[in-house]
């Protein structure tokens, strides 16, 4: 079922048919540079694994927690969801998201994050939604501020990626 976010932007479950647009937009060093788990290059097998993972976790958790972001042409242009970081029964979870570069700086992710939080609070029964962002990721931090998140602190040398220690800022939004 499609969930309307804003004019021309929808959330839906990813399917096999979305594989070409997923590969087209996620294969970007600038997405890799600001995220922890998205590989670069992003191969066909990575896409297959992700599509299967989403369906398997939907069946296991009996609810969809990872959405494909689609535009008015029904093209996948990004993704957003919850990581189930603290287990499926927890009152809290972490949000994650990415968007294809041609669509940046149009306010799309701010609308998506607001909608995903609404779903998290009303349907997934979350009380606290966290986001842990590389401190240098100005655009993502702006999305969080605009979506009602509050900065709780900086986690020094929190991540280790590509032989570098990375500072992260932790944000939260409460129900």
Ligand X SMILES: CC(C)(COP(=O)(O)OP(=O)(O)OC[C@H]1O[C@@H](n2cnc3c(N)ncnc32)[C@H](O)[C@@H]1OP(=O)(O)O)[C@@H](O)C(=O)NCCC(=O)NCCS
Q: Which of 82, 97, 149, 171 binds ligand X (CB under 6 A)?
A: 97
Rounded Cα gap, residues 47 and 69, in angstroms: 15
Contacts with ligand X, 36-75, as mask; x by CB under 6 A: ----------------------------------------
Q: How many residues bind ligand X (CB under 6 A)?
A: 20
Q: Which of 90, 135, 137, 151 binds ligand X (CB under 6 A)?
A: 137
Q: Does 26 bind ligand X (CB under 6 A)?
A: no
Q: Does 109 bind ligand X (CB under 6 A)?
A: yes
Question: With CB under 6 A as the contact rule, which of the stretches 18-26, 31-39, 116-124, 155-163 interacts with ligand X?
Answer: 31-39
The tokens for 48 are: 């297959």
Residue with Cβ nearer ligand X (60 or 150): 150
Cβ at position 62, least distance to ligand X in Å: 27
Q: Which residues contact 48 (CB under 8 A, 6 or more apart)?
A: 19
Q: Which of 31, 76, 117, 129 binds ligand X (CB under 6 A)?
A: 31
The tokens for 117 are: 């939080």
Residue with Cβ nearer ligand X (64 or 169): 169
Q: Which residues contact 172 (CB under 8 A, 6 or more apart)?
A: 128, 129, 130, 131, 149, 150, 152
Question: For residue 41, is the peptide bond before it cis, meaning its omega torsion is within 30 degrees of 0?
Answer: yes
Q: Does 21 bind ligand X (CB under 6 A)?
A: no
The tokens for 161 are: 């990626």
Q: Does 27 bind ligand X (CB under 6 A)?
A: no
User: What H or E segment, with its residue span, contains residue 70?
Assistant: strand 66-70
3-state helix vs strand vs coil in the chain, percent to 5:
35, 35, 30
Residues at the interface with ligand X (CB under 6 A): 31, 34-35, 97-99, 104-110, 133, 137-140, 142-143
């Amino acid at each position: 079922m499609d969930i309307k976010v804003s004019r021309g932007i929808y959330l839906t479950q990813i399917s096999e048919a979305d594989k070409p647009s997923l590969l087209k937009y996620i294969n970007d060093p600038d997405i890799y540079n600001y995220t922890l788990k998205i590989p670069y290059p992003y191969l066909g097998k990575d896409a297959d694994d992700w599509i299967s993972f989403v369906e398997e976790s939907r069946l296991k958790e009996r609810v969809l927690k990872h959405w494909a972001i689609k535009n008015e042409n029904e093209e996948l242009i990004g993704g957003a969801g919850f990581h189930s970081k603290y287990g499926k029964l927890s009152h809290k979870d972490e949000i994650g998201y990415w968007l294809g570069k041609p669509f940046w700086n149009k306010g799309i992710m701010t609308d998506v994050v607001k909608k995903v939080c609404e779903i998290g609070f009303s349907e997934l029964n979350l009380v606290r939604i966290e986001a842990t962002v590389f401190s240098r990721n100005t655009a993502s931090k702006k999305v969080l501020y605009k979506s009602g998140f509050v900065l709780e602190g900086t986690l020094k040398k929190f991540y280790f990626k590509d032989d570098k220690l990375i500072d992260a800022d932790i944000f939260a939004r409460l129900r």
